[in-house]
């Protein structure tokens, strides 16, 4: 591994098991003690088309994929055509020997080719002509050999992943692929992974969806309801698979409107409830969002952004919904919007979201995107002790005060003691109409104004708690003699941190201010991080630079430059570093 | 156990004098008393419309939600705490127009709740437009030339959706209605009652008189509530004679039953202070 | 009429015909040549409760109700209790003589009472014990007499309003009421309307809903679809009543999702289509809104704001949805948001909205509220010649270019020639997925970026056209030596203009900048109107001052003061003037 | 008149090899040719899902809308320009889950369009979760323990909603399906066809084989398509034998018919350059 860094790309048709194969090889790398970041690029189709998984493997922590790769594992010739320009010097390509369209054109182009008769192996040696998907195990075996990696790490994973018989075939396939390379090619590939040391600390390999799921499990989410929508479907699957072990109820309802209303019902009854969707589904949830705000029913909503407007590019990534989630639903009510930028934040912020929701009795929106939710990364296992369950003013079992219980008692903090409907001695009324302290409808102007203020006041106390407890609403990554401060939010974090490394290797330093909480906007902290900046550069996966608009709105300051990408793809670090240099 | 007088709230009732909702609310209150429920066992979920005001007028736990979403809210409550007896109060527009999405699905899930639809065949609170159940020819400010489309038949849809308790009541006969509510509530599963609820202000067609001249009781007509096809046939009866009572009844597992993890303990009673996720972490390592 | 100004209030239970009675008396005043502004305050119920209609009548133009009234027409005693504190010096109260709860308490309080046995008259003289609603005609007759007004104007209107027999009874009732006053009381009421001159110019008396409806009729709207929701239901009724005369299709569908999707279907087919709703329904429409943006299908959506969040106060007024409608729906796409502040703007901006929508092939949102939509005002009849139909690049009947028709042809302005599906020679594909020029789905990054830019570019050309044609995106009402500039939007316009008059009468002058187009934000014009302001004061019917946030965002400037009202009621001029003075 | 080869687009078809959608699309293209329609007379409206790609693969006017909203878009098009022949292509989740709101209402309106539902009993494009029509026990990644709830019966709902043409086809029998499409299109009113469309990737239960062993044709069984109750009975048949073909047929006025103002001229053909509103102004003066 030159410079401690190695990237591979595995590509082929949808249905060829690309994502799984990429995941397995990447995970094998983690098992061998390396750091890994892997991400999946796929189209909105089930078979055919072109999918690829690209992963970066390193002996130091990695935050994103790289612009180039060292090894292409091509399950079809299209993969070579589409990606060969990404190949690093002395990179190699594993391809199917009998994919004839390849040989004449490519072999003469100086590419280092490792043709393996993958299809033939599956059909003739493994006798599985109807299971061509096994080609990818052959390819993974070959890749292990080319990179001189430990085959056991791979076979072990295959064993864990598949049912016994299927695992056996795949292991056999991997071994054949491995041996084929060892037998037919020189061991002269420059970008070897080599034998690796044992992992130092226990680590896990997971994507954002799973990290959010873990956070929800750990936070005691008991009711999860979601109508499938890319890129959040992975979380639905994760939650469903854990439903019984964790005594949860998972519902896939008739649509997103049902989803959010069910979640609100469950939360009213007293359990921690969550729903997830993407933009289109969130539109449908927006009326329910307002009801959560008005009835002061705590729920957590994860929104996985993808490029819009409308159906847009369902399987790609974007950050176009920031303003929408902040302002969605009629009228004014408090909400919290937090945008995790990596799996760690996905986990901790999800767990914390349930606390915010219950303590302040409001909806919390986790604003993620395809890139963070569906990219896998190796990370130190999370610290479960850091997650504390704080349920706020929750009355259990019996209400014993002498005054009549009022669900919407006007208090200094705006937060009213919350009883569940089975509380003896309390009649618990939630109301989407404007209401008095007892939840009875009102049209009185004074009560209306009071209740509006009561609800809005909660945001002030949220901000105060954030300050007092030193919540990292903004994370600041500083460099010495920074020429500028990058400001961004969400999943652009990874490529930005990689770009910073690249820039600093060239002696060009920038700071990075990651706004984690977008609403309530951490004005003071953002101001602090940008006030001394020589230049402010916003980096976002959208067209209008929505964060810049928030900064103008709250800090009354224009950013100096915007680097925007709205083609559905995440930033690549080198390209991003170049763009940053252009504006420095 | 609640008594009738415990069930009043401080709110002045603002339904129009003579509104069918008066009969409906008295049947409901009577049923609550007859069922012998404690206040903390009951939740009333209501939609938006004249019917939605039930939440203001009955002194039990309530969730007065948005228009059309009674059923998902009620479903969430029921799943989180199956010990509660959940009543949904919806309107014809609330349930059969805006909320139609949820009706058939909640029924086929056999969610263990009771749904009472104030079917006045008109949008009451928005001053009288047609709904899904308005009669053909019904003239309103949004259909000055008369509704052109045949009305939806919610009873038939409920039967077809594998409904396990499908009934129709009449607010003009609160005693009968009360008995239906009691039976629907005791029924294990989705107890559905569509209630003819005269809107004296906006529905000039379907008046008390109109109903009184037509309704007859299925139980008196010796209707077999176990025969799905017969039930459907009865649901199509609409003219000089219109049946009320129970159309169809059956026992099958409730939605709750499909979650064995709810068997011993309600979600709401589960400990969440220190959930152990080690096993999941292991799978990721 | 002292100072040329007279206000009356008529109150009673819902179902007592309050709004109609108020309307009739107000309209009678207009018929007599006076200027009138009338507004209805009612609760979300059908019978009982308390409703009132308050109107201001003047010999000069009036823009809002007043804080006080000269005559209370009380159909029940509650009306007196609730409103007597609004009575101007020497004001009077017409009440029911036999409403005993009144006499002891009120008669001794120095109030000028005109007790009329209204109920008795209806029951005994008119023999209509089951039609107590006729009391209001008795009351109107009495009011005509008290104010010494022309009874013919009233009876004429009664005749036009009701079917012959009913009209007759009501006219009789009015006459009895009239005569009762003339016979039993001195003609010493100070605030007389007196005999009035003939109207000078043809005028009409209408509310915002009707003005929007007129605009839509005149603009050739052919498809109108709406699910009833206060405060826009009046428009549905207006459109339905004109359906056949104007060859339109009016549909009341199963909900708002259906509504917007039907409108989009009709617009795709080539007709001008509109839908209306309030916040909750707009939530449900938001996904369709994005589809209109993505498919570039022109539609007009009127949103009538009312106090939220959630169901809120369904029959009251607010301006809480500004940011929501600007940002609703995932992703980024062009839209236009215009907020009419009075009936005139309701008419002209609605008519123009259809032009914007079709010329730029995007959704246009008319952001109104209960106050403007349900308040009636007398105004000079609109100038129909000012409404020009501009349909933009519309291909009719036959596509004859040699190149294959591409619905999303990339052009400089971003606007592509639009053909309807029945066009011979063109295959017309609308697509909510990202698409190429022909409307076929794409996932290509370059095409994605190009199409995003193409769509967003339209906003630039919208702005350019607005400048070139001198569209009044901002209206500026200037005063000499203004101490401050009020900035606001929408229906607060009326009370602000009245407050300005009050202030200037005291020698305190302020300017008023009315932002009519909220999106795209008329940055330059707003900047211009506020740049020289000594102080900027935002006036809004919301809690967070959403316009201020837009100003910060676009103009990078904080307003100096905010006068906010969020109790569901519009501003009253005197109170508002006081608040303004406080911050001058 | 379009010919088969005119109907292809430049897009490569990305359905899984063997997918039931191939049979369906060929039946549809065949029907278009058989119907002798000109391209400019046809609009295809599709939802989101594998089925939605019809818009990419048939070279006619199309509106590829959002998930669940095929019917309101199609209704809008039809009302604006009744001269167009509008086909809706929806999926089981698209139509019976997300879009359920619209189904019964469009049918009772008798909108003059044809609706074809690609019923593969699974969410295809989102990688295989249960839908409203998934069989009880069906295991997916969202229901690892098997779907607990009985499936919706769309045919029965269509009949109960006053459907005027209610049919079921099978993508494994494109010839029969083509004939159904032709008849549904020629039918004046809402032509509805639920199509068994095997999803070879995610539906391991309802395969071609499974269907082939079970389906039989109603027309061969001499089913009377005029008898609503019989049609319902047939719609309940689900087991060793499952009927395809036309369940029920009747003539009644279409939604268009309820707008006399559309009789002579389509909305889209009306002059809007100088609409005279004087009469309305008069009423306001
Ligand atoms: C999303 C949404 N759309 C529209 C409304 C306006 N609205 C209030 S009540 C109502 C209808 C009530 O009719 P129904 O459900 O039959 O109840 P009823 O008043 O007849 O009891 C409507 C449409 C709303 N509150 N929310
Ligand atoms: C509002 C919304 N929710 C969810 C999705 C995600 N989504 C895309 S396709 C699909 C379901 C497709 O299932 P079905 O309609 O049965 O079509 P099939 O793929 O099986 O043909 C869903 C839920 C979406 N696009 N929009
Ligand atoms: S409007 Fe109709 S339903 Fe509503 S309260 Fe009055 S009578 Fe009852
Ligand atoms: S996933 Fe199923 S429905 Fe979709 S293309 Fe593949 S086989 Fe067909
Ligand atoms: Mg109703
Ligand atoms: Mg499907």
pLDDT, one tens digit for every residue, chain B (285 residues): 789 999 999 999 999 999 999 999 999 999 999 999 999 999 999 999 999 999 999 999 999 999 999 999 999 999 999 999 999 999 999 999 999 999 999 999 999 999 999 999 999 999 999 999 999 999 999 999 999 999 999 999 999 999 999 999 999 999 999 999 999 999 999 999 999 999 999 999 999 999 999 999 999 999 999 999 999 999 999 999 999 999 999 999 999 999 999 999 999 999 999 999 999 999 999
Which tokens sit at B81?
């705490």
pLDDT at D61: 98
> Residues A232, A335: one domain?
yes
- Which residues of chain A make contact with B102, given a CB cutoff of 8 A? 254, 258
Q: How far apart are CA A525 and CA A537, in angstroms?
A: 17
CATH number of the CATH domain containing C351: 3.40.50.970
> Residues A382, A399: one domain?
no
Confirm whether A195 is domain-assigned. Answer: no
Residue D169 has pLDDT above 90, yes or no: yes
User: Angle at the Cα of A560 (from A557 to A561), degrees rounded to 5?
Assistant: 130
pLDDT band at C111 (very low <50, low <70, confident <90, very high): confident
> Residues A274, A320: one domain?
yes
Residue A20 has pLDDT above 90, yes or no: yes
pLDDT band at C108 (very low <50, low <70, confident <90, very high): low
Confirm whether C192 is domain-assigned. Answer: no
Residue A104 has pLDDT above 60, yes or no: no
Q: How far apart are CA A423 and CA A355, in angstroms?
A: 21
**C-alpha distance across the termini of chain A, in Å:** 32
pLDDT band at A108 (very low <50, low <70, confident <90, very high): low
Judged by a CB distance cut-off of 8 A, whether residue A395 touches chain B is no
pLDDT at C102: 57
Q: How far apart are CA C232 and CA A156, in angstroms?
A: 65
Of D45, B140, C558, C565, the closest CA to residue A556 belongs to C558
- The string over C382-401, giving b where at least 16 C-beta atoms fall within 10 Å of a residue's C-beta and e elsewhere, is bebeebebebbbbbeeebee
More confident residue, A451 or C100: A451
**B100 contacts D101? CB cut-off 8 A:** yes
Q: Residue with the nearest Cα to atom 2 of ligand 3?
A: B199
Range of the domain at C40: 5-184
Confirm whether C197 is domain-assigned. Answer: no
Q: How far apart are CA C411 and CA C399, in angstroms?
A: 17
Q: Which helix (H) or strand (E) holds A13?
A: strand A5-14
User: Angle at the Cα of B7 (from B1 to B8), degrees rounded to 5?
Assistant: 160
Q: Residue with the nearest Cα to atom 3 of ligand 2?
A: A281
> Residues C254, C113: one domain?
no
What backbone phi and psi angles, to 5 degrees, belong to B130?
Answer: -70, 150
Q: How far apart are CA D131 and CA A407, in angstroms?
A: 38
pLDDT (mean) for D98-103 = 98
Query: Which ligand is located closest to the Cα atom of residue B121?
Result: 5
List residues near ligand 1 (CB under 6 A). B 48-51, 67, 91-94, 118, 120, 122-126, 131; C 227-229, 256, 280-281, 284, 311
Calculate helix-pair angle for C164-184, C135-146, nearest 10 degrees: 40
DSSP annotation of A492:
G
What backbone phi and psi angles, to 5 degrees, belong to B166?
Answer: -125, 115
DSSP string computed for B5-67:
GGG--SSPP-SPTT-HHHHHHHHHHHHHHHHT--GGGEEEEE-SSGGGGHHHHS-SEEEE--T
Confirm whether A573 is domain-assigned. Answer: yes
The strand pairing partners of C515, in sequence order, are C474
Percent of chain D whose pLDDT exceeds 90: 99
CA A248 to chain centre: 23
Confirm whether C270 is domain-assigned. Answer: yes
Q: Which helix (H) or strand (E) holds A18?
A: helix A18-31
Instruction: Give the number of the atom of ligand 1 that is nearest the alpha carbon of residue B90.
Output: 15
- Which residues of chain B make contact with A210, given a CB cutoff of 8 A? 284
> Residues C236, C368: one domain?
yes
Q: What is the pLDDT of residues A270-321, one digit of tens each?
A: 999 999 999 999 999 999 999 999 999 999 999 999 999 999 999 999 999 9
pLDDT (mean) for A559-582 = 98
Q: Tell me the ipTM for this assembly.
A: 0.98
> ω before C408 within 30° of 0 (cis)?
no
- Residue B199 beta carbon below 6 angstroms from any ligand 3 atom: yes
pLDDT (mean) for A473-493 = 97
Confirm whether C352 is domain-assigned. Answer: yes
Q: DSSP 3-state assignment of C162?
A: coil
pLDDT band at A396 (very low <50, low <70, confident <90, very high): confident
- Which residues of chain A make contact with D144, given a CB cutoff of 8 A? 240-241, 243
Q: A468, A492, A515: which is the final residue of a domain?
A: A468
DSSP annotation of C567:
S
Q: DSSP 3-state assignment of C416?
A: coil
Q: E strands of C422-524, at which residues? A: 429-431, 474-477, 484-488, 510-515, 517-519
Provide the H-helix boundaries in C219-278: 233-242, 256-269
pLDDT (mean) for C563-570 = 98
Calculate helix-pair angle for A546-555, C546-555, nearest 10 degrees: 110
> Residues A148, A239: one domain?
no
CB A109 within 8 A of CB A152: no
User: Angle at the Cα of C169 (from C168 to C174), degrees rounded to 5?
Assistant: 95
Between the CA of residue D1 and those of A233, D40, D188, what are the distances in Å?
A: 44, 10, 21
- Other beta carbons within 10 angstroms of residue A197's beta carbon come to 10
Q: How far apart are CA D152 and CA B205, in angstroms?
A: 34
Query: By CB neighbour count within 10 A (0-12 exposed, 13-18 middle, 19+ buried), where does C62 fall?
Result: buried
Residue C103 has pLDDT above 60, yes or no: no
> Residues C285, C147: one domain?
no
* Dihedral of alpha carbons C214, C219, C222, C226, sign: negative
pLDDT at A22: 97
More confident residue, A102 or A7: A7
Of A327, B205, A299, D114, the closest CA to residue C320 belongs to A327
pLDDT at C202: 85
> Residues C338, C424: one domain?
no
* Dihedral of alpha carbons A510, A511, A517, A521, sign: negative
> Residues A481, A457: one domain?
no
> Residues A73, A119: one domain?
yes
Confirm whether C195 is domain-assigned. Answer: no
CA A243 to chain centre: 21
pLDDT at A198: 63
Of A515, A493, A511, the closest CA to residue A570 belongs to A493
Query: Which ligand is located closest to the Cα atom of residue C229?
Result: 1
Q: How many domains does chain A have?
A: 4
Percent of chain C whose pLDDT exceeds 90: 92
What backbone phi and psi angles, to 5 degrees, belong to C518?
Answer: -95, -25
pLDDT at C99: 82
Question: What dihedral angle (degrees, nearest 10) is formed by the CA atoms of A458, A464, A469, A471?
Answer: 80
**D160 contacts B150? CB cut-off 8 A:** no
- List the 187-246 stretch of C: residues with Cβ below 8 A of B: 227-230, 233, 236-237, 240-241, 243-244
Q: Residue with the nearest Cα to atom 7 of ligand 2?
A: A229
Provide the H-helix boundaries in A392-505: 445-468, 493-505
Tell me, in angstroms, the distance from the centre of ligand 1 to residue A268's CA: 23
Q: C325, C352, C386: which is the final residue of a domain?
A: C386
Confirm whether C200 is domain-assigned. Answer: no
DSSP string computed for B80-142:
H-TTSEEEEEEEHIIIIIITHHHHHHHHHHT-S-EEEEEE-SSBTTTTSB--TTPPTT---SS
Question: Average pLDDT of chain D?
Answer: 97
Residue A338 has pLDDT above 70, yes or no: yes
Q: What is the pLDDT of residues C480-497, one digit of tens each?
A: 999 999 999 999 999 999
Which tokens sit at D259?
């707008």
Query: By CB neighbour count within 10 A (0-12 exposed, 13-18 middle, 19+ buried), where does D13 fall?
Result: middle
CA C468 to chain centre: 28
* Dihedral of alpha carbons C532, C537, C540, C542, sign: positive
pLDDT at A106: 56
Residue C199 has pLDDT above 80, yes or no: no
Number of B:D CB contacts under 8 A? 69
Q: How far apart are CA D87 and CA C583, in angstroms?
A: 62
Q: C468, C486, C510: which is the final residue of a domain?
A: C468
CATH number of the CATH domain containing A17: 3.40.920.10
Which tokens sit at B92?
């014809």
Instruction: Give the number of the atom of ligand 2 that is nearest the alpha carbon of residue D120.
Output: 20
Q: DSSP 3-state assignment of B188?
A: coil
Q: What is the pLDDT of residues B112-131, one digit of tens each?
A: 999 999 999 999 999 999 99
Judged by a CB distance cut-off of 8 A, whether residue C363 touches chain A is no
Q: How far apart are CA A243 and CA A238, in angstroms?
A: 9
- Residue B202 beta carbon below 6 angstroms from any ligand 3 atom: yes
Residue C3 has pLDDT above 80, yes or no: no
CA distance A144 to chain D (A): 30
Q: How far apart are CA C172 and CA C126, in angstroms?
A: 8
Q: How far apart are CA B194 and CA B158, in angstroms?
A: 10
> Residues C572, C523: one domain?
yes
> Residues A178, A89: one domain?
yes
**D14 contacts A236? CB cut-off 8 A:** no
CB B97 within 8 A of CB B133: no
Residue C239 has pLDDT above 60, yes or no: yes
- Residue D126 beta carbon below 6 angstroms from any ligand 2 atom: yes
Between the CA of residue A148 and those of A2, A11, A141, A192, B153, what are the distances in Å?
A: 14, 21, 10, 6, 70
More confident residue, D167 or A196: D167
pLDDT at A111: 78
Of A245, A343, A317, the closest CA to residue A30 belongs to A343
């Amino acid at each position: 591994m030159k410079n401690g860094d190695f990237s591979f790309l595995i590509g082929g048709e949808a249905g060829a098991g690309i994502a799984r194969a990429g995941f397995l090889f990447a995970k094998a790398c983690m098992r061998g003690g390396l750091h890994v970041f892997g991400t999946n690029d796929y189209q909105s189709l089930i078979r055919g088309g072109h999918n690829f998984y690209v992963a970066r493997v390193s002996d130091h922590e990695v935050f994103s994929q790289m612009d180039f790769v060292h090894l292409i594992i091509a399950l079809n010739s299209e993969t070579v055509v589409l990606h060969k320009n990404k190949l690093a010097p002395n990179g190699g390509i594993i391809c199917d020997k009998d994919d004839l369209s390849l040989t004449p054109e490519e072999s003469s182009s100086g590419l280092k080719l490792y043709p393996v008769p993958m299809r033939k192996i599956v059909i003739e040696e493994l006798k599985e002509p109807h299971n061509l998907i096994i080609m990818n195990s052959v390819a993974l075996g070959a890749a292990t050999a080319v990179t001189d990696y430990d085959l056991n790490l791979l076979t072990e994973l295959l064993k864990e992943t598949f049912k016994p018989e299927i695992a056996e075939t795949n292991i056999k396939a991997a071994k054949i692929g491995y041996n084929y390379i060892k037998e037919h090619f020189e061991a002269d590939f420059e970008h070897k992974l080599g034998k690796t040391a044992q992992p130092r600390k226990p680590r896990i390999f997971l994507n954002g969806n799973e990290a959010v799921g873990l956070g929800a499990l750990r936070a005691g989410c008991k009711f999860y309801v979601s109508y499938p929508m890319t890129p959040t479907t992975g979380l639905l699957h994760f939650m469903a698979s854990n439903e019984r072990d964790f005594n949860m109820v998972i519902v896939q309802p008739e649509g997103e409107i049902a989803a959010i209303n069910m979640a609100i019902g469950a939360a009213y009854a007293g359990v921690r409830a969550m729903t997830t969707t993407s933009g289109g589904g969130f539109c449908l949830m927006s009326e329910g969002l307002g009801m959560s705000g008005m009835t002061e029913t705590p729920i957590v909503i994860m929104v996985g952004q993808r490029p819009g407007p409308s159906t847009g590019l369902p399987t790609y990534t974007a950050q176009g919904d920031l303003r929408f989630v902040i302002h969605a639903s009629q009228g004014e009510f408090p909400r919290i919007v937090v945008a995790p930028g990596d799996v760690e934040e996905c986990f901790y912020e999800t767990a914390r979201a349930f606390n915010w929701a219950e303590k302040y009795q409001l909806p919390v929106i986790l604003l993620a995107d395809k890139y963070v939710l569906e990219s896998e990364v190796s990370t130190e296992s999370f610290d479960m002790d850091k997650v504390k369950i704080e349920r706020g003013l929750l009355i259990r079992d019996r209400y014993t005060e002498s005054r009549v219980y009022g669900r919407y008692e006007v208090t200094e903090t705006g937060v009213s003691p919350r009883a569940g409907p089975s509380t003896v001695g309390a009649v618990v009324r939630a109301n989407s109409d404007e209401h008095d302290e007892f939840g009875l409808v009102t049209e009185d102007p004074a009560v209306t104004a009071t209740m509006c203020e009561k609800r809005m006041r909660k945001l002030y106390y949220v901000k105060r708690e954030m300050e007092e407890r030193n919540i990292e609403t903004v994370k600041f990554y500083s460099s010495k003699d920074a020429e500028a401060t990058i400001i961004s939010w969400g999943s652009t974090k990874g490529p930005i941190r990689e770009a910073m490394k690249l820039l600093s290797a060239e002696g060009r330093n920038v700071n990075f201010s990651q706004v984690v909480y977008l609403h309530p906007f951490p004005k003071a902290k953002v101001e602090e991080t940008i006030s001394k900046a020589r230049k402010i550069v916003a980096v976002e996966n959208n067209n209008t630079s929505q964060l810049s608009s928030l900064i103008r709105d709250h800090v009354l300051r224009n950013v100096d430059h915007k680097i925007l990408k709205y083609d559905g793809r995440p930033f690549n670090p080198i390209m991003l570093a170049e763009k940053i240099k252009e504006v420095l | 156990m609640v008594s009738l007088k415990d069930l009043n709230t401080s709110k002045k009732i603002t339904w129009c004098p003579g509104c069918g909702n008066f009969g409906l609310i008295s049947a409901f209150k009577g049923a609550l008393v007859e069922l012998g429920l404690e206040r903390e066992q009951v939740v009333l979920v209501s939609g938006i419309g004249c019917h939605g005001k039930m939440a203001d007028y009955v002194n039990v736990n309530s969730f007065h939600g948005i228009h059309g979403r009674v059923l998902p809210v009620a479903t969430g409550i029921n799943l989180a705490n199956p010990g509660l007896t959940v009543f949904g109060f919806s309107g014809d527009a609330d349930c059969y127009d805006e909320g139609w999405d949820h009706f058939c699905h909640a029924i086929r899930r056999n969610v263990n709740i009771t749904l009472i639809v104030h079917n006045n065949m008109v949008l009451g609170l928005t001053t009288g437009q047609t709904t899904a159940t308005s009669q053909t020819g019904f003239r309103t400010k949004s259909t000055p030339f008369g509704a052109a489309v045949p009305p939806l038949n919610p009873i038939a849809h409920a039967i077809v959706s594998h409904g396990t308790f499908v009934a129709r009541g009449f607010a003009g006969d609160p005693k009968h209605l009360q008995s239906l509510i009691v039976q629907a509530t005791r029924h294990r599963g989705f107890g559905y009652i569509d209630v003819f609820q005269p809107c004296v202000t906006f529905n000039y067609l379907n008046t008390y008189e109109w109903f009184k001249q037509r309704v007859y009781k299925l139980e008196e007509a010796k209707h077999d509530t176990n025969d799905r096809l017969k039930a459907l046939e009865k649901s199509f009866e609409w003219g000089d004679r219109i049946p009320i009572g129970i159309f169809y009844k059956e026992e099958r597992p409730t939605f709750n039953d499909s979650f064995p993890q709810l068997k011993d303990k309600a979600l709401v009673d589960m400990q969440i202070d220190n959930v152990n996720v080690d096993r999941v972490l292991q799978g990721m390592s």
